[in-house]
Amino acid sequence: MKKPLMRIPYTELFPPPSIIPPTARSLPGAVAALQEFLHAPPLPLQPPSSQTLNSGPGSSQPPGSPLPRSTVVLTGAGLSVASGLPDYRGLNGTYRVNKTYRPIYYPEFVSNHPARQRYWARSFLGWSTLQNAHPNAAHYALRDLAGMGFLSGVITQNVDSFHPRAHPGLPTLELHGYLRAAVCVTCGGEVEREGFQKELARLNPRWEGFLRGVLVEAPGALETEDPRERERRGVRMNPDGDVEVPGAPYTTFRYPACPACLARSSSAGKGTGTGPLVLADGVTPGRVEVDDDGAWHPAGNAGVLKPAVVMFGESIADRVKTAAEEAIDGAGKLLVLATSMATYSAWRLVKRAKDRGMPIGVVNIGGVRGEDMFFSGLDPGQAGGQGVRLEMATDELLPALVREMQQSGQGWSPSAESSRGENVFKDMLS
Ligand SMILES: [Zn+2]
């Protein structure tokens, strides 16, 4: 029986890291250690432990056979900080953006109309910040490392879609979904966020006016990279792309219903060929009610749209969980970038890699959950081939690594084994 993987916030502080190898405190030292990490010959696969039995094709490999040579990358919110998006955690692992920030939980979202009004109002205001933000040098450095044949894919916890934008040729698995679409809780159909945003503007002209006012009167208030500056101007941006406006009348906010469910609900019994609308339990008849302008009305019970992200308190879909395990099993090394691995869904992937005998590299400013375990048993004299632990900004370190490798003409052709990783989760590209 598979346990559901739930996304929950984790607020403990993590102890500061020990830099591995000790020579990697400087930028040149860190670049040298990462080169050693990427170039090191593959280690043998370890026998599966009880935790990793029966999960993924990797466990069918005989223990002792060499692991693939390629590296799979796992990224978190810190990677997008240089793009102007806020991180959940500060240097010491504390919630620095907004101390009162309490993310909405999935059960509350799906059961509570006022909670959805509040969520979509804040998301409506926050969208322009995300829309105007772009991938940064770290994302493009991963594209370049992939071009040199070192990477098999990226697993990201980020919902900003920067990875698929920066490196469409390198597969990205978005562990916690993405903000670029809204998904229907009833039928699972997706609505592209751009059009959804226009619908929100049409249904909420006063909010649209407020948003324009903020953009005109305080240009940059939503875009500024400095959270304190945003706060000073009366808006607070949170890491899932939503904005908080103190005292805003959220109860006036309207959001559209799923167009597919609305069509089925209003055409029920009229011979359109589509069956009657049924809720996700497969039994309860569904009904979508909308007001005169087409906004979702609480008299109905279906057609609620949610962001296509895994909300806190929501389980990760089994197909995503399996694809992430397969991405780990399709590589020989794991490089963790800019995440404290506070969520179990990410942490367990690193544990899986460690159990398989894969060298682990971690680049993160601040401590990482349970990281000592990932670096146990390393030869104290190793230069990075068995593991690296760096504390540096990814948008400086990774481009420096790429420059160094390009100048020295390093790289190797992707082998059959590294392209296998691409096939494993090509279905996850979206
Ligand atoms: Zn629907």
CA contacts within 13 A on the Cβ side of 330: 27
pTM for the structure as a whole: 0.83
The answer on whether 418 is annotated among ligand-binding residues is no
Distance CA 188, CA 306 (A): 10
End-to-end CA distance of the chain, in Å?
A: 29
| 317 contact partners, CB below 8 Å, separation of at least 6 | none
One domain for residues 395 and 325? yes
CA contacts within 13 A on the Cβ side of 39: 13
One domain for residues 233 and 342? no
pLDDT at 180 (0 to 100): 94
176 belongs to the catalytic site: yes
Residue 90 counted as domain residue: no
One domain for residues 250 and 202? yes
Sole residue written with tokens 């990477």 = 151
Query: Are 399 and 138 contacting, i.e. CB atoms less than 8 angstroms apart?
Result: yes
Q: Ligand 1 center to residue 106 CA distance, Å?
A: 17
One domain for residues 120 and 269? yes
CB atoms within 5 A of ion ligand 1 belong to 184, 186-187, 189, 258, 260-261
Q: Dihedral, CA atoms, 237, 209, 108, 277, nearest 10 degrees?
A: -130
The pairing of beta strand 190-192 with beta strand 177-184: antiparallel
Total domain count, the chain: 2
Residue 97 counted as domain residue: no
Distance CA 125, CA 77 (A): 20
The answer on whether 258 is annotated among ligand-binding residues is yes
One domain for residues 163 and 218? no
pLDDT at 237 (0 to 100): 56
One domain for residues 405 and 366? yes
Residue 5 counted as domain residue: no
* pLDDT over 70 (residue 414): no
Mean pLDDT for 212-241 is 57
Which CATH number goes with the domain that contains 41?
A: 3.40.50.1220
The answer on whether 276 is annotated among ligand-binding residues is no
Q: 282: pLDDT confidence band, cut at 50, 70 and 90?
A: confident
When mean pLDDT is compared over 46-50, 245-249, 407-411, the highest value belongs to 407-411
Query: Are 321 and 5 contacting, i.e. CB atoms less than 8 angstroms apart?
Result: yes
Q: Ligand 1 center to residue 186 CA distance, Å?
A: 5
pLDDT at 1 (0 to 100): 47
Residue 211 sits in which domain range?
106-134+179-309
One domain for residues 272 and 202? yes
